[in-house]
Structure 1
Amino acid sequence: MTPSHWREALALRLYSLGVWAAQPLLRRKLRRRAVQEPGYAEAVPERFGCYAAPATPTPPLWIHAVSLGESRAAGILLREIRQQQPSLPVLLTHGTATGRTEGQRLLADIGMAGDQQAWLPWDTPAAVARFLQHFRPRMGVLMETEVWPNLVHACQAANVPLWLVNARLNEKSFTGARRLPSLLPPAYRDLTGVLAQTEADGQRLQTLGANVLGITGNLKFDEQPALALLQQGQHWRSLNAGGHGKPVVAMASSREGEEALWLDAIHRLPDPRRVQWMLIPRHPQRFDEVAELVQGRGLTLSRRSQWQADQPLPTADVWLGDSMGEMPLYYRLADVALMGASFAPLGGQNLIEACACGCPVIVGPHTFNFAQAAEDAIAAGAAERAPDMQQAIHRALRLVQDAAMRTASRVSAQQFATAKGGAARATARRLLSALR
């Protein structure tokens, strides 16, 4: 064994010991999370590689989508795979309750008999080995960022090809990976293949040793917003306009801390009631907390969960989007959206979906998770960047009060979203070719 191999083996061993020792902490964390999100209490033994349901007779294509955004991207890819190879059984794995819920929806909509869903196990050698022995996947596909050292090592030892697709790696994560040269770069190196979103992502991944085989673009450009949701959003939008309603400014996919910034900025306006405000928190466990925060500022509030599809929207200072899976409805209803997770140092949320619904976007200073998409959207006139929340709201007000600018921005947003498609087809073809 060479010195470098010895260091890598030692690093993996120490990492495995640390992950094994942290298992009681994981169990405690799951119990705490389950208080607000009951999904975390489901099938807990699966987190440790113990699966009750029998595996499919035919080894499946395994796709891992850790959370909500990755699960939606996996759904785009899965639809294309179904078109090219309809009979292929699929195993979907997740790490969060929102990801698992979205995965259930995917399998109900585009699955076939024999498809399965499970939690990906905690990254200990024993749990990962039990997972692979139980499901016997033909190939593994990791969505976007989910590279775990023991998982990669076990797949290589079991001759399970493991791909990273729709791959992204921001500068912060790249720097962090380089600080662990004997642990993370070997994990990237041992992946079978990587299909990256952008040239910059591909370059960073390649520097870590990954076998980058293509720059296929972002799967989310191939997302087709649900027609029924667009129609309902348009129906309410027409009723709002017909009733001489105000322009709608949305704060979309907000994260903890951003709602307070948003409320502070609204409070400073000389006439905050000249537009209709809409607030859509990213995580469902925070809906009640955010509602209390809004009402604590003296603002009236109406919750989407209490609206009737065939009735005009109620009068309130703030509409609260307290539902899951309805972002196309909210984006079609809104005239402009402020993009959550970009006003706190969290990297931003997916702005492509908003643009596909014809909703122009204003992003904050922090978009490192969607850097290329954000820059491209700004260059196309589909988005603007603001240095802080107060400036973002001022720019939103300027946009909604200029009818010509508002129309041009909606057109630019849709053109931007439709101009970069094709990632799903290219990714599915590459994976299925490797599978054959």
Structure 2
Amino acid sequence: MNRTLYTVLFHLGLPIIALRLWLRSRKAPAYAQRIGERFALGLPAMQRGGIWVHAVSVGESIAAAPMIRALLARYPQLPITITCMTPTGSERIRSMFANEPRIQHCYLPYDFPWAASRFLNHIRPKLGVIMETELWPNHIHQCAKRGIPTVLANARLSQRSARGYGRFARLTRPMLAEMNLFAVQTEAEAQRFLELGARPECVTVTGSIKFDLTIDPALLQRAVAQREQWQTTQRPVWIAASTHVGEDEVVLSAHRQLLAAHPDALLILVPRHPERFNSVFELCQQQGFATVRRSAAEPVTASTSVLLGDTMGELLFLYALADVAFVGGSLVPNGGHNLLEPAALAKPILSGTHVFNFLEIAALLRNASALEEVTDAASLSIAVQRLFDQPELARTMADAGLGVMKANQGALQRLLEGIGRLM
């Protein structure tokens, strides 16, 4: 399949796209808003001639934040347009850069040639930076036609994804050949991009910029003050972050078992997707847990057993409130989420075994004894209790995680140098 056939099929799939948006909007009404932007219609007024950064959703937006802040500092005369595909990603982008006038934002239009053309004519970027694996043939081709260099930043490509791209070589090989820089996380992934058609002079191994995450000291101070205000400084607190369907029941079962040994334990439960906030709150209540919603701004009291993290843009702060961190999306075959956020906050880390989206990072943390993997409610409860009961072990794991972070930093600087050569 070449790009022409791909484009024809994409147009034929318009009814499916519309149906998918409608189905998603039933659970998350934000999907029914700003639909014009997804077709490059009614785009907000924007400054032209800057840098375009695409981060598909929340995880990529968080990973891109240090790079974007560095670009703002390096190119003080340029605006930066950040695009994404999801309402949660949009909300996170707006919350992270609310006070930065040079940041402008909209959804990335779907990969129709005419929509990509209209979008690029609207913002006329000097450079496009795409985070991780979000490759759109028509957007990349339209950039190449205009002489706009494109960068795949923090690039990763699993064996499974490489096989998928390989099946459509007539589409993917020309697309990869049109790109100007692949800042790849590992040597193995660099080799996969080369085999699929990336030009050798454009592929460089930089490592993962997720290791370059820095924590604002003010956030840590705010977390300490919050625990003092809630009078939880002496209570054991753990967080289950970015949970998916099927995990909340496991986490709550583990918490119930934990309460037998630590009756005053507090669980901070943070579902990954906002459309699940209400159902998870109802689940907590149905199971008899005294639950407070973060969005309600109600205080955590001595009787509170679960704090539901149902706000956006606060995950790092909620991690900072906890003594032990479990990272979700890993008890179910979703692939896991960013393990380096709790590592950067010096928290001992737990996860399930389904971490195929973060295999290298999980291996580094596991080999450093900074990560323990669990499989069910019983093993999760035992692991959390062990870390509560053995603060020396918790501190050792936390220090090991910080050590892994520091040992692997520098990817951001290498990425910025590559971008600088293209600019």
TM (normalized to structure 1)?
0.89
Unmatched 5+ stretches in structure 2 = none
Note the C-alpha offset of 1:359: 1.0
Note the C-alpha offset of 1:226: 3.7
The 1:242/1:123 distance shift into structure 2, 3 A limit, reads closer
Q: How far apart, CA to CA, are the structure 2 residues paired with 1:243 and 1:219?
A: 33
What is residue 3 of structure 1 aligned with on the other side?
none
SS in 1 for 2:288: coil
What is residue 30 of structure 1 aligned with on the other side?
21
What is residue 35 of structure 2 aligned with on the other side?
44
What is residue 259 of structure 1 aligned with on the other side?
248
What is residue 135 of structure 2 aligned with on the other side?
147
Note the C-alpha offset of 1:411: 2.3
The 1:183/1:264 distance shift into structure 2, 3 A limit, reads farther
Quick check: 1:392 aligned with 2:380?
yes
Q: How far apart, CA to CA, are the structure 2 residues paired with 1:77 and 1:172?
A: 28
User: Is residue 258–residue 381 contact of structure 2 (8 Å, CA) maintained in 1?
Assistant: no
Q: How far apart, CA to CA, are the structure 2 residues paired with 1:68 and 1:91?
A: 16
The 1:292/1:153 distance shift into structure 2, 3 A limit, reads same
The 1:83/1:181 distance shift into structure 2, 3 A limit, reads same
Note the C-alpha offset of 1:313: 4.2
Q: Which amino acid aligns with 1:285?
A: E
Q: How far apart, CA to CA, are the structure 2 residues paired with 1:166 and 1:41?
A: 31
Q: Which amino acid aligns with 1:108?
A: A
Q: Which amino acid aligns with 1:280?
A: V
Q: How far apart, CA to CA, are the structure 2 residues paired with 1:263 and 1:241?
A: 23
Post-superposition Cα deviations, 1:36-67, rounded to whole Å, max 9, x if no partner, equal 434333321111122443442x4121111111
What is residue 225 of structure 1 aligned with on the other side?
215
SS in 2 for 1:280: strand
Note the C-alpha offset of 1:361: 0.7
SS in 2 for 1:104: helix
What is residue 191 of structure 1 aligned with on the other side?
179
Please, what is the CA RMSD of the aligned residues?
2.4
What is residue 94 of structure 2 aligned with on the other side?
104
User: Is residue 351–residue 373 contact of structure 2 (8 Å, CA) maintained in 1?
Assistant: yes
The 1:138/1:328 distance shift into structure 2, 3 A limit, reads same
The 1:261/1:131 distance shift into structure 2, 3 A limit, reads same
SS in 2 for 1:271: helix
* 1:311-330 superposed matches below 5 A: 313-330=301-318
Equivalent of 2:400 in 412, 429, 433: 412
Q: How far apart, CA to CA, are the structure 2 residues paired with 1:391 and 1:178?
A: 39
User: Is residue 293–residue 308 contact of structure 2 (8 Å, CA) maintained in 1?
Assistant: yes
* 1:178-327 superposed matches below 5 A: 178-211=166-199, 212-238=202-228, 244-245=234-235, 247-266=236-255, 271=260, 274=263, 275-307=265-297, 313-327=301-315
Q: Which amino acid aligns with 1:257?
A: G
What is residue 346 of structure 1 aligned with on the other side?
334
Instruction: Give the stretch that moved more between structures: 46-55 or 355-364.
Output: 46-55
What is residue 87 of structure 1 aligned with on the other side?
77
Note the C-alpha offset of 1:184: 2.7
* 1:51-130 superposed matches below 5 A: 51-56=42-47, 58-112=48-102, 115-130=103-118
SS in 1 for 2:335: coil
User: Is residue 225–residue 353 contact of structure 1 (8 Å, CA) maintained in 2?
Assistant: no
User: Is residue 304–residue 320 contact of structure 1 (8 Å, CA) maintained in 2?
Assistant: yes
Q: Which amino acid aligns with 2:192?
A: R
Instruction: Give the stretch that moved more between structures: 199-208 or 249-258.
Output: 199-208
Quick check: 1:133 aligned with 2:118?
no
The 1:395/1:109 distance shift into structure 2, 3 A limit, reads same
Post-superposition Cα deviations, 1:284-332, rounded to whole Å, max 9, x if no partner, equal 2211111111222222212222346xx6645222221111111222222
User: Is residue 258–residue 343 contact of structure 1 (8 Å, CA) maintained in 2?
Assistant: yes
Q: Which amino acid aligns with 1:186?
A: P
Note the C-alpha offset of 1:239: 6.0
Q: How far apart, CA to CA, are the structure 2 residues paired with 1:278 and 1:25?
A: 37
SS in 2 for 1:163: strand
Equivalent of 1:177 in 165, 170, 174: 165
TM (normalized to structure 2)?
0.91
Q: How far apart, CA to CA, are the structure 2 residues paired with 1:263 and 1:307?
A: 22
Instruction: Give the stretch that moved more between structures: 24-33 or 211-220.
Output: 24-33
**Percent identity of equivalent pairs:** 35
SS in 2 for 1:413: helix
Note the C-alpha offset of 1:271: 2.0
Note the C-alpha offset of 1:34: 3.5
Q: How far apart, CA to CA, are the structure 1 residues paired with 2:311 and 2:22?
A: 24
Instruction: Give the stretch that moved more between structures: 340-349 or 230-239.
Output: 230-239
The 1:278/1:155 distance shift into structure 2, 3 A limit, reads same
What is residue 20 of structure 1 aligned with on the other side?
11
When the two structures are aligned, how many residues end up with a matched partner? 420
Post-superposition Cα deviations, 1:168-223, rounded to whole Å, max 9, x if no partner, equal 11222122222222223432232222001222222222222223532112222222
Q: How far apart, CA to CA, are the structure 2 residues paired with 1:120 and 1:224?
A: 28
Q: How far apart, CA to CA, are the structure 1 residues paired with 2:335 and 2:261?
A: 28
SS in 1 for 2:170: coil
